[in-house]
Amino acid sequence: MLERPLQTSSTTLSTRLDAVIDGAIAAERIVGAVVLVRRNGQPIYTRAAGLADRETGSPMREDAQFRLASVSKLFVAAAAMALVEQGKLDLDRPIAEWLPHFEPRFGGEPAAISLRHLLTHTSGLGYGFLEPDDGPLHRAGVSDGMDRTGITLAENLSRLAGAPLLFRPGTRFCYSLALDVAGALIEAATGLALPQAVQMLVTEPLGLNDTGFSVADPTRLAAAYADDTPRPRRMREPDLVPFLPDLPGLRMDPSRAFDEQAFPSGGAGMTGSASDTMELLEALRSGGGPLMPPEHAAEMARDQIAGLDIEGSPGWGYGLGFSILRDATAAGVTESPGAWRWGGAYGHSWFVDPIRGLTLVAFTNTALEGMSNGGRFSADLSRALYAAIGP
């Protein structure tokens, strides 16, 4: 595929993106942010802005670390695909071959879930924050991976398996704890704890030192804030952050990042930097780098759920670990069809536009405003970037 040359001056690009970032900070919609953009692999914008910690007045820095929330899914999906390449996992064989004690049921019968089902959120599993307080996952005491419960990964999955599946695997899309199950699958396939497996399969081959299941440098970890009026409030420990109307919200505990006993949640439990996430996205965009061959990277970026819709997200499909843009008009976004996008509840968003050769990573310390679909910030950045680049 031919990559288009950049058609705008760096001054215009910086002016437009600076205006979005400075406007969000001035309006007190976010506290701080790190925003990185690359075009055809070359950095064209890098900025740290605002405050990492408002109460101490500490400025945001480019190498700040963040609680990744669902950005963790990108790293765990890449680790799983690296194991597929090595022949230690298979996308379509039942995961019961590796996890014989994980036996969720649908209609009273055991359900055959595959790794592909897990990575595309078509397994029939759910998330506690997407159900009412009396829902089955809450009744079973299942953790969504951002609170502190004192249970192990094995215990959480045992509780999850005891709740009935929402649908037969492969028949619907539902955002879920599937990447936590994929994390256990990675452990079973490698014989390693998930933090060590992700390090071996992803971060070490890419030379990434800031991302993992423990904080690499606590002095660089940005404080966590939640949307509020007249300005974001510092998150409590623990906290309940509103997410969808008529649902209880996200159970989050920023102190989990320092808890060495917290189970490694493959869907939400990592910390890391914006630059590390950029390196992983660029490795996948350019064909897999040292992690996997081009055909596996391309499979991750292929819409896997043709014929299925993502409720509340028109115009989007889903690949192996992130969403894939089907229709920009229906989705109301500026990226090209085939672009990849996801983010994290602590206030992060990223996207890759392979046609335009663009990769953008925007990490904030403000939930949910900084998250993809969480507020204006992510969409405003995207519009400003494409306005600067032109058709």
Distance separating alpha carbons of residues 33 and 47, to the nearest angstrom: 8
Distance separating alpha carbons of residues 68 and 210, to the nearest angstrom: 12
Q: Helix %, strand %, coil % for the chain, to 5?
A: 35, 20, 50
Q: Please give the backbone phi and psi of residue 340, each rounded to the nearest 5 degrees, phi first.
A: -110, 145
Mapped onto helix, strand or coil, the DSSP state of residue 279 is: helix
E strand or H helix at 197, and its extent?
helix 194-198
70 among known catalytic residues: yes
E strand or H helix at 76, and its extent?
helix 72-85
Amino acid at 236: R
Distance separating alpha carbons of residues 16 and 21, to the nearest angstrom: 9
Q: Which of 9, 70, 72, 382 does the annotation list as catalytic?
A: 70
If we measure between CA atoms, which residue out of 306, 305, 284, 311 comes closest to residue 296?
284
Inter-residue contact 350 to 277 (CB < 8 Å): yes
Q: Give the active site residues.
A: 70
